[in-house]
Structure 1
Amino acid sequence: MRIHTHFFCLWALSLAMLAWWLAQMAPWGAMVRLGAGLAAAALWLGWAGWRMWRCRRDGAARELLLPGLLDLPQGWRDGRATVVELESPRGAYVAAEDGMLRAMVPTPALLERAVAELVAWRRGSPPDALALRLEAAAECGEAAWLGRLQAWRQAIADVERRLACRLPVYLLVGFPAPARCSGIGGTLGVVLQGSSSASLRQWREWLDDWRSRTELQPPVLGDEDARARFDLRLRAGAVGGWLGTQVLPALLQGATPAPAVGLQGIALLPTQGRDAALSPWGRCRQALSGLTVRSLSIGKSEREGVPRSWLFGLEPGGRLPAAWRLALSLWLLACLTALAAFAASAWSNRVLLERLSANVAHYRSLPMERDVERREALSVLESDARELQSHADLGVPLRLGFGFYRAQPWRERIVRLIADYRPPAAVPASVLLDSLSLFDSGKAVLRVGAEMALKPALAALALYPERNVLVAGHTDSVGQSEANQRLSLERAAAVRDWLAHATGLPLTRFAIQGYGATRPLASNDDVEGRARNRRVEITLLPTLPVK
């Protein structure tokens, strides 16, 4: 089998380019797209190389069944009707005559091999038809004759499965005719023309209708040619009845072990040869008439090839040349690539718009108090703004092109959101509360009306509820240091309990510390200095991220 290497390479290259194109259209990273394209190219080129190696190996392992194909003109590859004639009595060969190419196959076992060589020689085009020759007067047993038909049916099914297409089948039935009918056989020609999808019942109806019309044409008295034609029609009608009851069921009935053949037409061909009593046709006549049929010699048939006029509906050039088929395949591949690119672009733009919309909505949903999350969302918007700005400066990438890009208005919205961002007011490092406004002298219980003095601390906690709170108590240096230390700690605990109750925050968010007189703000030598040192200091601590 000859393999056209350039066709395989071009087709594999086209598929690799399609895979690379689709990878570029996908919303992946650059390295992922590059890797996908290289993997697709390697896969398809490897497949093409494997196909060529296997076909060359198979071709070298065996000789050509139809070597005559190599001697035919190149113009016969395309534009010529090609018929594979089955049951050839002279073996396997090819013949170019009558404006058509004939490939002769003698046995069912050689059909698939012969068709494979023919398809390879025709650059991938299957044959236009199969013509099964059947001699009604050939001497053979009933079982052998039916087995032969079943074998051809199975071989045709195998070829159709390999080619992935249905092949029209013509049944060429030769029946014996006396010598006085010679010369007028061409008047019969093709007697039936059907459809490759017709059932056994339809073919039987067509045969019965044709037989009834044939028998209604009586001969003209005194006209020897008319009598010969009438005799020929009667013989053909009888053969038609035999076809409907014996031959067609073997080819069309049931779907197992092989599907029915696509019978396109039946031609009854009068021949000169031996009319054997033990032929399928002879046994059928004997069963119908109850008479003994004798074997008669009525001459010798010289016909080998089937005239093209008998294969009705078979026109040369029914398929495009291989170059045109390749061009059409590449054009269809380009159309599919364009459709895939449009679909991928529309999908990528939809994903982009959904992402931008979700990022903007998330940023707007965050209150100012949650500034840490707002800054994280703002950094995402800044990344989106840089991406959209690159689209405006460098052009829209291919995966977002083809007129589907609709992200330009979003760039302006995101830029405005970024420009409108204002950080919250600085958090006071600490809130100082005068102990005299909170506690009586020497006491650690909040006095009546202390809530007004604690409002600044509540305001700070309301702005930053996520922060931890340190409450530290301080005293002056009057008295014993241990007592001052204990008093400062108790006052810090009292303020902590009130803040936790007022804000609803858990106690775990608070820490207390009593410093006594160890951290004065002023000198303890005068009254004003000691008043400044008696205080409660509330500090908001940032929440450390968990690693």
Structure 2
Amino acid sequence: MRGITQLILLLLGAFLALWLIIGFWPLGTASRVTLSIMVLLVCGAVGYFHWRRDSRNKIAHAHIADANLPPEDFQGAVVLVCGDSAPLFSGGTPFRETRQGWYLPVALPEQLPLLAQHLAAERPALVAQISVLLAVIPEQHQDKDDFTQKLRAWHRAIVQCKSGLSGIPPVWISTWLSPPRQSDAQVERWYTVTPGLTGIQVRETGAGVMPLTEWGRELNAGNDLERLSCVFWMESLLTWCDTHIRDVISKRQGDLPALTPCVWGSCFTPVTGSRDNLWQAHVAGITTLQPTLIRTQECLPLPDVLLPYLPRRRGVSRLMQTWQLAGLICGLFLLFAMLASFINNQRLIQSVGDHLALYNRLTGTPPAPKVQAQQQLRSDADLLDGWLRSGAPMRLSLGLYQGMRLIAPLQSAINSWSPPPPPPPVIKKIIQGPKTIRLDSLSLFDTGKYLLKNGSTKVLINALVGIKAKPGWLIVVAGHTDDTGDDKSNQILSLKRAESVRDWMRDTGDVPESCFAVQGYGESRPLKSNDTEVGRAANRRVEISLVPQANACLLPGAKMASPDPTEDGDAPTEEMEN
């Protein structure tokens, strides 16, 4: 479920980032594409990192059963019991629940950070309720150096919990000792040091709280010896704790900060001890007495009396964390979207302002530049008017749209000037001669020949029906070949073919030779590429066209006239020009 939530948040962030890049920020196409690819790559990398981390966490937390964890709506303290935790959980019990707390045993120091991380991931609402109880049973330790090394290992493990719990969790200490006399174990009695109360307090079931000094002075005939022995036992335990516990965890050790227990408590109850333990050695060093060893199968009592004094703060549930993160993502999107909208509006104002400034600088003489500037203003006005009717685009809106106040200045500037009327139209005569006529050389001549072949007369008659001799017009006959052969031969061949066509037109139509001009271009003016047969066929041609020339085609006794062939049907056309 946690992985799905992270995936949804990642997709939400990627979608909003792409929307911001494509829909809001004033960027070019290349920049948008580049940034979009970068966003996708970053999201892919983040998703892969989370997947790898979740996979590693699943492997590392495989030994932790979620059924042993408190429910997310649990209101009491969540206590991670480290140190001498085994006697508190008989028969391998995975947890102990009371009205005020949920106790989870931790067997080894390296398991403590893993359990803290797992709790933070699976029960985020309970993070603020988590504390670490260092359980100490002096009668179960025989070697001081070994006990010190174990305390330092737990010290390091507690500090390592800060990465999963956003800080070092509250640490408190509880000790259990066998009572001075077996009869003293009938009543559960706790000796505590808590914030707000000075000195050691004695807490008995049904008797309330009393300072140890006052409790020791209330000597009655029936229990004088019991109270005196308990006071002595308590004072000896304080000395032992200062020597063996506080001197280890309350001092900085290299990169490990000092740990300050928030509360402390001790209970005199039957405890299974080992021979020649540290507590026996401590008492024997003070007195000549030797505490007796006790064998018991009962679980040690839990220090519930200390739970109300633990620092408490309200946690945040996983659902609330999800909503907070989603709200943060949406808030950042809205912030950057509004910033982009502000920039877009400033660019719109700047653009329209530049167009107005240019328009106002132009005097209208000549009118063309100002007409063009006016057209730009009309385009700006049409764009703003369209946004007024249908709504401004989102990249300009978000409550920051400034286009409304630009419409009035635009309309005022457009109406302040009109271009001068156009000049009257000028009528010109456009003399249109006939188009150039192209004849396929192979339809007129044999390959490599320049004499007209049989059957070419019909082709010439059909093609040259519009070519007539007219005063003032020169009939130009030009021959062309492909690139087959050498240049000189091709030029001579093209000229000879043009002369053959000229001679036929002259003799057939009785046209004076002064009406003709003959040209041979050879292969120098191809229409298409000579690399293909189709191109070479197109290049083998004879072209006939009329070219105006004042003294051309004058018949004997005729006056020179302007090239206006109106009497032959090729009437000039008249066009209106501005």
| TM-score, normalization by structure 1 | 0.60
Question: In 1, distance between residues paired with 2:224 and 2:232?
Answer: 12
Paired position in structure 2 for 1:200: none
Q: Does 1:98 align with 2:94?
A: no
Paired position in structure 1 for 2:255: 257
Aligned-residue offset at 1:391: 2.6
Alpha carbons of structure 1 residues 218 and 313: separation in structure 2 relative to 1, 3 Å: closer
Aligned-residue offset at 1:108: 0.7
Paired position in structure 2 for 1:172: 174
Alpha carbons of structure 1 residues 334 and 77: separation in structure 2 relative to 1, 3 Å: same
* Contact 1:208/1:241, CA 8 A, preserved across alignment: no
Q: Give the secondary structure class of the aligned counterpart of 2:308.
A: coil
Please show how residues 330-479 of structure 1 align to structure 2 within 5 Å. Answer: 330-354=326-350, 356-357=352-353, 360-361=356-357, 384-385=380-381, 387-420=383-416
| Alignment equivalent of 1:306, drawn from 295, 302, 307 | 302
Paired position in structure 2 for 1:186: 189
Q: Give the secondary structure class of the aligned counterpart of 1:170.
A: strand
* Contact 1:385/1:414, CA 8 A, preserved across alignment: yes
Question: In 1, distance between residues paired with 2:256 and 2:363?
Answer: 75
| Alignment equivalent of 2:265, drawn from 238, 246, 267 | 267
Question: In 1, distance between residues paired with 2:17 and 2:406?
Answer: 32
Aligned-residue offset at 1:7: 1.6
Paired position in structure 2 for 1:113: 114
Aligned-residue offset at 1:155: 1.0
Residues 344-387 of structure 1, C-alpha deviation per residue, up to 9 Å, x if partnerless?
Answer: 43454345445544664566567878999978877775665454
Paired position in structure 2 for 1:151: 153
Paired position in structure 2 for 1:319: 315
Q: Which region of structure 1 is more displaced relative to structure 2, 110-119 or 365-374?
A: 365-374
Aligned-residue offset at 1:94: 2.3
Aligned-residue offset at 1:171: 1.4
Alpha carbons of structure 1 residues 309 and 222: separation in structure 2 relative to 1, 3 Å: closer
Paired position in structure 1 for 2:245: 247
Aligned-residue offset at 1:86: 0.8
Question: In 2, distance between residues paired with 1:421 and 1:370?
Answer: 13
Alpha carbons of structure 1 residues 264 and 220: separation in structure 2 relative to 1, 3 Å: closer
Paired position in structure 2 for 1:218: 216
Question: In 2, distance between residues paired with 1:168 and 1:366?
Answer: 78
* Contact 2:341/2:395, CA 8 A, preserved across alignment: yes
Instruction: Specify the code of the residue in structure 2 equivalent to 1:158.
Output: Q
Question: In 1, distance between residues paired with 2:278 and 2:374?
Answer: 92
Question: In 2, distance between residues paired with 1:173 and 1:376?
Answer: 94
Alpha carbons of structure 1 residues 407 and 378: separation in structure 2 relative to 1, 3 Å: same
Q: Does 1:76 align with 2:79?
A: no
- Decide which structure has greater helix share: 1
Alpha carbons of structure 1 residues 295 and 225: separation in structure 2 relative to 1, 3 Å: closer
Question: In 1, distance between residues paired with 2:26 and 2:257?
Answer: 48
Paired position in structure 2 for 1:55: 54
Instruction: Specify the code of the residue in structure 1 equivalent to 2:185.
Output: S
Instruction: Specify the code of the residue in structure 2 equivalent to 1:113.
Output: L
Instruction: Specify the code of the residue in structure 1 equivalent to 2:114.
Output: R
Please show how residues 496-511 of structure 1 align to structure 2 within 5 Å. Answer: none
Instruction: Specify the code of the residue in structure 2 equivalent to 1:110.
Output: Q
Alpha carbons of structure 1 residues 123 and 93: separation in structure 2 relative to 1, 3 Å: farther
Question: In 2, distance between residues paired with 1:140 and 1:120?
Answer: 38
Question: In 2, distance between residues paired with 1:280 and 1:348?
Answer: 77
Paired position in structure 1 for 2:445: none
Q: Give the secondary structure class of the aligned counterpart of 1:312.
A: helix
Question: In 1, distance between residues paired with 2:190 and 2:105?
Answer: 26
Aligned-residue offset at 1:160: 1.1
Residues 276-331 of structure 1, C-alpha deviation per residue, up to 9 Å, x if partnerless?
Answer: 796555566677x4x56635325547334635443225699953543344334434
Q: Give the secondary structure class of the aligned counterpart of 1:172.
A: strand
Alpha carbons of structure 1 residues 96 and 76: separation in structure 2 relative to 1, 3 Å: farther
Question: In 2, distance between residues paired with 1:424 and 1:94?
Answer: 98
Instruction: Specify the code of the residue in structure 2 equivalent to 1:402.
Output: L
Paired position in structure 1 for 2:162: 160
* Contact 2:349/2:403, CA 8 A, preserved across alignment: yes
Aligned-residue offset at 1:105: 0.9
Alpha carbons of structure 1 residues 234 and 53: separation in structure 2 relative to 1, 3 Å: same
Alpha carbons of structure 1 residues 161 and 58: separation in structure 2 relative to 1, 3 Å: closer
Q: Give the secondary structure class of the aligned counterpart of 1:319.
A: coil
Question: In 1, distance between residues paired with 2:54 and 2:18?
Answer: 28
Alpha carbons of structure 1 residues 79 and 216: separation in structure 2 relative to 1, 3 Å: closer
* Contact 2:283/2:290, CA 8 A, preserved across alignment: no
| TM-score, normalization by structure 2 | 0.57
Q: Which region of structure 1 is more displaced relative to structure 2, 128-137 or 329-338?
A: 329-338
Paired position in structure 1 for 2:15: 17
* Contact 2:216/2:231, CA 8 A, preserved across alignment: no
Alpha carbons of structure 1 residues 398 and 220: separation in structure 2 relative to 1, 3 Å: same
Alpha carbons of structure 1 residues 128 and 370: separation in structure 2 relative to 1, 3 Å: farther
Question: In 2, distance between residues paired with 1:226 and 1:373?
Answer: 116
Instruction: Specify the code of the residue in structure 1 equivalent to 2:86.
Output: P
Alpha carbons of structure 1 residues 400 and 219: separation in structure 2 relative to 1, 3 Å: same
What runs of 5+ residues in structure 1 fail to find an aligned partner?
195-205, 427-547
Instruction: Specify the code of the residue in structure 2 equivalent to 1:95.
Output: F
Alpha carbons of structure 1 residues 381 and 314: separation in structure 2 relative to 1, 3 Å: farther
* Contact 1:84/1:104, CA 8 A, preserved across alignment: yes
* Contact 1:349/1:404, CA 8 A, preserved across alignment: yes
* Contact 2:142/2:275, CA 8 A, preserved across alignment: no
Question: In 1, distance between residues paired with 2:366 and 2:156?
Answer: 79
Question: In 2, distance between residues paired with 1:130 and 1:158?
Answer: 12
Paired position in structure 2 for 1:139: 141
Instruction: Specify the code of the residue in structure 2 equivalent to 1:303.
Output: C
What runs of 5+ residues in structure 2 fail to find an aligned partner?
203-209, 423-578
Residues 245-265 of structure 1, C-alpha deviation per residue, up to 9 Å, x if partnerless?
Answer: 552343233374223346332
Alpha carbons of structure 1 residues 351 and 84: separation in structure 2 relative to 1, 3 Å: farther
* Contact 1:86/1:105, CA 8 A, preserved across alignment: yes
Question: In 2, distance between residues paired with 1:263 and 1:341?
Answer: 49
Alpha carbons of structure 1 residues 226 and 65: separation in structure 2 relative to 1, 3 Å: farther
